[in-house]
Amino acid sequence: MRILGIETSCDETSLALIEAKGTPHNPHFRVIKNIVSSQIKIHAPFGGVVPNLAKREHLKNLPLLWKRIKEKGAGKKEKKTLVPTPYFPLPAINLITVTVGPGLEPALWTGITFAQKLQKEYEEMSGKKVPLVGANHLEGHVYSFLLPKQNSKFVVRNSDMFPAISLLVSGGHTILLLVKDLYHWKKIGETRDDAVGEAFDKVARILGFSYPGGPEIEKHSAQGNPCAIEFPRPMIDQKNYDFSFSGLKTAVLYFLREKKNGIGNIEYGISNKPTFKIRDVAASFQSAALDVLVKKTIRAAREFGAKSIMLSGGVASNKTLRKMLQREAKKIGTQFIAPEKEYNTDNAAMIAVAGYMSILRKTPRKKYRLEAQGNLNI
């Protein structure tokens, strides 16, 4: 089964060609091509993603990426892709999947319309309809651990990993799932206000770092002292699995405002310059945010007897978070599973997997109908 994935929910335009085999409970994937075109530079001056700019860029990028998928198809072995098939000169595929939500609606529509156009092109070429299905972006993140590195062999995963606790941490979401198997899960907690990635982005902005803030905070934190400032760890001891990050962001804002206004003058030297270090603020913020994520995830893993802890989403790129979770998971005898680096942030390979898995799960098609569903849930 060869699947084309299309992702345009936020500020990355991405197309991927993957191959699936195996059984429903033991699927293996191979990533032939996963091309991501990031719009970070375009949105950076605005400190965040501007929906209409994102739409304009997706419209511009999609045909360019499609051309690259067609031309290169995928390395030497994949020359076959372009040999005559019913679809020639289009690459042979069995399924098209496109993100229908959650995300920015103008951006989502560009992907959906593009997918529909491609489907028509294939039909005109062969007289046969290639199925087109909508995919849930969040499921894409959750399934991203199933993907091997681009151009490597099919990977067979250890199937003894359930029940699992899956922590999805991105710019728009912070969700904790109890995963019974590859097709069944229950949301046990989520953020009540800002997503953790959003908090990283906002705090980075307050500290004068560029967008996206997560990688910047991580970089500066590496030189800073995480114990320098004791920021609050919201909801850390509450017996639920929900999160809250907006109070932590405000605490950083107030800390800086207070210091800069000279309240608590001891922080100022003779030169009248604040004596705290920005890198210590970054490290202390990061430490507070990650402590909450790790503590609540580990508590959930213990309570539900999880055999594994899965991590996904853009914030999963954070090496400190990975290390902390890995260390704590080991202490309770639980496996730690994270995606290959290239699949943490938004990409179409994970969307191809999500679309494929949603067919195997027999998800009612109207749930992931081909319309932009900005607030689609998991």
The residues with which 14 forms a beta bridge, in sequence order, are 7, 36
CB of 100 to ligand KG4, least distance (A): 14
| Closer residue to ligand KG4 (CB): 81 or 344 | 344
Distance CA 331, CA 237 (A): 20
**Binding residue (CB under 5 A) for Zn ion from 139, 201, 218, 346:** 346
Which of Zn ion, ligand KG4, none interacts with 355 (beta carbon under 5 to 8 A by kind)? none
| Residue for token pair 């375009």 | 42
Name the packing angle between helices 319-331 and 278-303 (round to 10°). 30
Q: How far is the CB of 374 from ligand KG4 (least distance, A)?
A: 13
Residues of span 152-171 touching Zn ion by CB under 5 A: 170
DSSP string covering 206-256: HTTPPSSHHHHHHHHHTTS-TTSS----TTTTSSSS-B--HHHHHHHHHHH
Q: Does 216 bind Zn ion (CB under 5 A)?
A: no
CA 212, 114, 117 angle in degrees (round to 5)?
Answer: 175
Q: Among candidates 138, 155, 119, 142, which has minimal Cα distance to 20?
A: 155
Residue 101 binding: pick among ligand KG4, Zn ion, none (C-beta 5-8 Å cut-off by kind): none
Q: How far is the CB of 316 from ligand KG4 (least distance, A)?
A: 8
Give the span between the Cα atoms of 164 and 14, in whole angstroms: 28
71 CB-near residues (< 8 Å, 6+ apart): none
Nearer to ligand KG4, 121 or 342 (CB): 342
CB of 268 to ligand KG4, least distance (A): 31
Minimum CB–partner distance for residue 61 and ligand KG4 (Å): 16
Q: Which does 317 bind (CB under 5 to 8 A by kind): Zn ion, ligand KG4, none?
A: ligand KG4
> Quick one: 13 or 334, whose CB is closer to Zn ion?
13
Residue 5 φ/ψ, nearest 5 degrees: -110, 145
Number of H helices, E strands in the chain: 10, 10
Residue ranges that bind ligand KG4, judged by CB under 6 A: 10, 170-172, 197-198, 200-201, 212-215, 218, 313-315, 317-318, 345-346
Task: Return the number of the residue (170 or 297) whose C-beta is nearest Zn ion.
Answer: 170
Question: Shortest gap between Cβ of 24 and ligand KG4 (angstroms)?
Answer: 26
Min separation Cβ 141 and Zn ion, Å: 6
Q: Hey, is 85 helix, strand or coil? A: coil
Cβ closest to ligand KG4, residue 43 vs residue 259: 43
Which residue number, 315 or 337, has a Cβ lying nearer to Zn ion? 315
Pick between residue 218 and residue 280 the one whose CB is nearest to ligand KG4: 218
Residue 318 interacting partner from ligand KG4, Zn ion, none (CB closer than 5 to 8 Å by kind):
ligand KG4
Query: What whole-number distance in Å separates Cα of residue 108 and Cα of residue 100?
Result: 6
Burial 146-155 (b: 16+ CB within 10 A, else e): bbbebeeeee
Give the pairing type, strands 12-23 and 2-7: antiparallel
Query: Which residues lie across from 99 on neighbouring strands?
Result: 135
Would you tell me which residues interact with Zn ion (CB under 5 A)? 170, 346
